[in-house]
Amino acid sequence: MSNWRQSLHILRVMLRHRLDLLVSADTIPRRLPRVLLKCWQGVLPGSDIPRGERVRAAFLELGPVYIKLGQLLSTRRDLLPADVADALATLQDKVPPIEGFDVAQFVTEVLGQDSGEVFKRLDAEPLASASIAQVHAAELANGDDVVVKLVRPGIRRQIQADMALLKSLAVWLDEHVPEARRLKLPRVTEDHEQVLLAELDMFNEARNQIRLRRNFAESDLLYVPRVHAEFTRDRLLIMERVYGLPIGQVDELKARGVDMRVLAHKGVETFFKQVFVHNFFHADMHPGNILIDTADPSNPKYIALDCAIIGSLTPDDQNYLAQNLLAFFNRDYRQVVELHLRSGWVPGDTDADAFEAVIREVCEPIFAKPLADISFAEFVVTLLDTAGQFDMQIQPQLVLLQKTLLYIEGLGRQLYPELDLWETAQPFMEEWATERLGPAAVITDWLSAGPELWQQLSRLPMTLKSSEAELRHLRTQLGKQSEHIERISTDLLRNRRHRRFKQVAGVGFLALATWMLWQPLAEGLGSGDATMLAGVVSAFLGSALLVRA
């Protein structure tokens, strides 16, 4: 589909679902689009369907790439109204299987060897089908049960074409619709394209899955399926087949006697361990990617699928985030402000007192509720929105974290409505602070940095001498620059005085000439000599312009 046809298709879908009603015509600065939108909104009747449902329906109709965009936008509750974000969060990425697809031929082509030599059985019908890939059950020649995950043929071109149009549309909306600017659509679409392209690389997903499995190898929190790396290619991933109950089947989990409180708290602990211990977290933990191992109902275990999207933080961001959380637990709002300033998350010239006052005003009513009634994820979103009032820019490294936190708490509350995320989070963060920021951690850091530190100390005299020489050179250069600036200032002052003198002199000479020539001029003008009159006017105007110049 060409760009213009695709654009018309998007426009038709948006108008069919009356997404035009989301924009107030009065906010559009250009007259023609404003008038056209007003006319359109005035002619057609309104819609009784809630705006969130209309947005969701439009994304569903537009197809897989847009469904994934809707899922991403649903996590940006600092940008979208709550009702729209809630509706988009229910989008499920389920699409029909590839028509006329021969999975055995595809595997043979990608592996470079006959699929019959690798598999004892390879099911033609897929277990699941999504926008990027589809999954088939299989049995290896050695008898291992596996699943074959393959990238849809031609999907890269489709994604690139769709995203090129989306990015152009995002830029246009950002430039022409003031209400759209706060959504930062160009940045959102750029991030969305990177996420989609990363999901096309099965090598990348395999590396992520292997590392995540290693991180939880001895844990009863999370199980990650084993990857058969010898059969993995850029468009093909083969992994152990695992069996569990989808996390969305809450009634069945309860029927099997699963301890829902344990399950919910394990989810929270898994999240914090990934972020603050491993610094490597699964960033696509929606219900479709999570199974529950119910073999021991009193001690259930999570099973993670689809490791294409992984997040991590720099050590500095990790430390700042942890200290922010601890400061909030202790209601130390001044510490929060100082951490935001030190991290560079807000501009250095931010009014710290005003920032602290606003954070206190937002947080105190929240803390007045029972802890179990406080949504931790919504709390974080509110704080980010508050910081945005002080020009806090979007931190890309925190976006995936925020998305994951929203998923985790949402799932936890669905499993166990009485979930007190704070009860699990605070002890974990305090233990983390003791290990990473306490005296023992400082001593460990000094010891581990010992050889490098002594090497740097041995170079200290030379470094000081070099710095002293550089300072002397800098002072010399500054002195020369000061002399140049002073000379330029003197020349400018002299030129200004000369120009003023010339203007005064010109006015004086003009006045003298007028006095000396007054009588002849009066006689000539009295005789009605048009030539003399024109000459006088021209001379006067020319002199005036000369003096003005």
Give the residue numbers annotated as catalytic, written as ranges: 284
- Tokens 């015509």 belong to which residue? 25
- Tokens 């530190």 belong to which residue? 453
H-helix or E-strand spanning residue 190:
helix 185-198
- Tokens 């809707």 belong to which residue? 70
Q: Are 228 and 239 in contact (CB under 8 A)?
A: yes
In whole angstroms, what is the distance from residue 76 CA to residue 93 CA? Answer: 18
Q: Is 369 helix (H, G, I), strand (E, B) or coil?
A: coil
H-helix or E-strand spanning residue 239:
strand 236-240
Q: Are strands 145-151 and 133-140 parallel, antiparallel or unpaired?
A: antiparallel
> Angle at Cα 235 formed by Cα 234 and Cα 237, nearest 5°?
90
Torsion of CA 313, 268, 320, 69, to 10 degrees: 50
> Angle at Cα 458 formed by Cα 454 and Cα 463, nearest 5°?
125
Q: Which two tokens stand for residue 452?
A: 């490098």
The secondary structure of 52-121 as a DSSP string is: HHHHHHHHHHH-HHHHHHHHHHHT-TTTS-HHHHHHHHT-----PPPTT--HHHHHHHHHTS-HHHHEEE
Q: Are 483 and 475 in contact (CB under 8 A)?
A: no
Give the CA distances from residue 82 to residues 51, 86, 426, in Å, rounded to whole numbers and listed in that order.
Answer: 11, 6, 27
E strands, 285-340, in order: 290-293, 301-304, 310-311
H-helix or E-strand spanning residue 148:
strand 145-151
Give the CA distances from residue 379 to residues 203, 340, 370, in Å, rounded to whole numbers and listed in that order.
Answer: 37, 17, 14
Rg (CA), the chain: 35
Q: Is 222 helix (H, G, I), strand (E, B) or coil?
A: strand
In whole angstroms, what is the distance from residue 204 CA to residue 209 CA? Answer: 9
In whole angstroms, what is the distance from residue 109 CA to residue 233 CA? Answer: 11
Q: Which two tokens stand for residue 4?
A: 């213009």
The answer for residues whose C-beta is within 8 angstroms of residue 388's C-beta and 6 or more apart is: 78
Tell me how crowded residue 373 is: count the other CB atoms within 10 A of its CB: 9
Q: Are strands 236-240 and 281-282 parallel, antiparallel or unpaired?
A: unpaired
Tell me how crowded residue 62 is: count the other CB atoms within 10 A of its CB: 20
